[in-house]
């Protein structure tokens, strides 16, 4: 027994050194009450420091996520404002036209009322009213007024949708897990980035059959936005963006492909690094793909990149339908 204790005592200094390197605090051999209390105190202090650092890291990750979100919104703000202004502009134009139509209609109504107040023999006034009806093209006003109203309602609905989608996207630190329709999220995101891609990209949707996915839809939509904007920026003039979705076993995938310039082989391994970008200064912050990678990792998924110079790039996001220990409702 004594020889075994001697061997153990001889091994203790190396073990203490390893423990010290691991927790970053001095340790001493535990061979007495005072020493034991001292080591326990040091361990508790190290644990508290580790927990504090963990909280700071979580806060930093949250701030980075929100910074990436705000950076994306900042880049899209001019385009979204342009879309909203265009929609409001044509609704205003339609209302001005309807105002002119109403004045003409009221003029005809007033003429008929004046004719009714006259004697039946006052055919000249009635003839003048019929002439006014022809001049004001009442039949055309009837059909065009309905069309203008429909267009205006559609325009205001689109404005409302843009504002709603933008509001949902910009929610700070929205991490609530829920069952989400990824196709609905893609369509909502496309509505936000429409102005960024409409003039140079044709978007092709190749949606497969997808179940609802247990995730934070607002964060996943941010991933979609970053990938779509990245694809649009990769296309110098005209090109295509293809969105494919599908399911393989207990996982689903969303692939975003572009026909852009592609990513050089020496850069492909770095594209998910924070602040790394090959875009011009005014086109990217280097946060988009890094934030997307972090969100997908947080959802226990993965994101893959495949690129060929001159042919384009494909990013594929894989997500579990229900992540392990995600707390999904069994009845969902």
CA atoms within 13 A on the CB side of 47: 6
| Cα gap 220→301, rounded to integer Å | 11
Which range is least confidently modeled, 18-32, 41-55, 84-98, 163-177?
18-32
Q: Which helix (H) or strand (E) holds 86?
A: helix 33-117
Q: Between 187 and 30, whose confidence is greater?
A: 187
Secondary element (H or E) of residue 227: helix 217-234
**pLDDT score, position 69:** 58
φ, ψ of residue 305 to 5 degrees: the values are: -125, 135
Mean local confidence (pLDDT), 238-250 = 95
Mean per-residue pLDDT over the chain, rounded:
75
Mean pLDDT (whole number) for 91-98: 83
Provide the pLDDT confidence category of residue 19 given band limits of 50, 70 and 90.
very low
| Length reported for the chain | 332
25 has pLDDT over 50: no
The C-alpha atoms of residue 234 and residue 215 are separated, in whole angstroms, by 28
Confidence of residue 15 (pLDDT cuts 50, 70, 90): very low
Share of the chain above pLDDT 90, in %: 23
Could you tell me where the beta strands, DSSP code E, fall in the chain?
178-180, 201-206, 213-215, 239-248, 251-258, 302-308, 312-320
Eight-state DSSP code of residue 137:
T
| Contact criterion met (CB below 8 Å) for 168 and 225 | no
Kindly report the number of other CB atoms within 10 A of residue 318's CB atom. Answer: 17
pLDDT for the residue numbered 203 = 94
Going by C-beta distance under 8 Å and a sequence separation of 6 or more, which residues neighbour residue 114? 125, 129
Asked whether the beta carbons of 220 and 182 are under 8 A apart, the reply is yes
Report pTM.
0.57
Q: What is the pLDDT of residue 256?
A: 96
* pLDDT score of 328 more than 90: no
pLDDT of residue 280: 58
**pLDDT score of 58:** 60
Three-state SS for 321?
coil
Whole-angstrom Cα distance, residue 205 to residue 80? 22
**Top-confidence range, 13-27, 28-42, 190-204:** 190-204
Query: What confidence score (pLDDT) does residue 97 get?
Result: 84
Mean pLDDT of 243-269: 92
- b/e 45-79 (16+ beta carbons within 10 angstroms → b): ebeeeeeeeeeeeeeeeeeebbebbebbbebbeeb
Mean pLDDT to the nearest integer, 79-97: 77
Residue 210 is predicted with a pLDDT of 96
pLDDT number for residue 112? 73
Higher model confidence: residue 292 or residue 52? 292
Q: Compare 74 and 139 and report the one with higher pLDDT.
A: 139
3-state class (DSSP) for residue 146: helix
- pLDDT of residue 91 exceeding 80, the answer is yes
pLDDT for 9 equals 44
Pair 313, 231: CB distance under 8 Å: yes
170 contacts 221 by C-beta, under 8 angstroms: no
Residues paired with residue 206 on neighbouring β-strands, in sequence order? 244
The whole-number pLDDT of residue 133 equals 73
Q: Which of 7-11, 168-172, 327-331 has the highest mean pLDDT?
A: 168-172
Q: Which of 229, 221, 166, 243 is nearest to 197 (CA)?
A: 229
pLDDT given for residue 40 in this prediction: 73
Least confident range of 82-91, 191-200, 202-211, 315-324: 82-91
Q: Is the CB of residue 239 less than 8 Å from the CB of residue 259? A: yes
Does residue 253 or residue 31 have the better pLDDT? Answer: 253
pLDDT at 214 over 50: yes
Q: Is CATH 3.10.20.580 the classification given to domain 178-320?
A: no
- Residue-level pLDDT at 23: 44
Mean pLDDT of all residues in 28-49: 65
């Amino acid at each position: 027994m004594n020889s075994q204790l001697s061997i153990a005592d001889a091994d203790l200094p190396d073990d203490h050194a390893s423990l010290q390197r691991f927790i970053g605090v001095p340790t001493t051999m535990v061979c007495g009450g005072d020493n034991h209390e001292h080591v326990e105190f040091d361990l508790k202090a190290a644990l508290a420091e580790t927990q504090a650092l963990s909280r700071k890291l979580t806060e930093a990750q949250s701030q980075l996520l929100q910074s990436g979100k705000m950076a994306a919104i900042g880049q899209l703000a001019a385009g979204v404002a342009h879309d909203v202004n265009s929609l409001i502009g044509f609704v205003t134009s339609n209302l001005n036209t309807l105002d002119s139509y109403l004045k003409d209609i009221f003029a005809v109504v007033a003429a008929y009322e004046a004719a009714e107040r006259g004697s039946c023999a006052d055919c000249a006034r009635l003839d003048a009213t019929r002439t006014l009806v022809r001049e004001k093209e009442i039949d055309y006003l009837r059909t065009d007024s309905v069309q203008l109203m429909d267009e205006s309602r559609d325009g205001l609905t689109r404005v409302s949708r843009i504002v709603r989608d933008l509001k949902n996207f910009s929610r700070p630190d929205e991490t609530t897990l829920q069952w989400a329709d990824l196709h609905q999220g893609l369509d909502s995101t496309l509505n936000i980035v429409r102005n960024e891609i409409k003039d140079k990209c044709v978007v092709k949707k190749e949606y497969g059959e997808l179940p609802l996915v247990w995730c934070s839809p607002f964060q996943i939509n941010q991933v979609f936005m970053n990938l779509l904007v990245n694809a649009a920026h990769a296309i110098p003039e005209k090109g295509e963006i293809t969105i494919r979705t599908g399911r393989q076993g207990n996982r689903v995938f969303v692939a975003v492909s572009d026909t852009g310039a592609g990513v050089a082989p020496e850069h492909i391994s770095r594209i998910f690094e924070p602040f790394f970008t090959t875009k011009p200064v005014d086109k990217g912050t280097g946060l988009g793909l890094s934030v997307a990678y972090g969100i997908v990792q947080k959802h226990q998924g993965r994101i893959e990149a495949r690129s060929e110079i001159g042919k384009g790039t494909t990013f594929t996001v894989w997500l579990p339908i229900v992540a392990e220990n995600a707390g999904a409702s069994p009845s969902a």
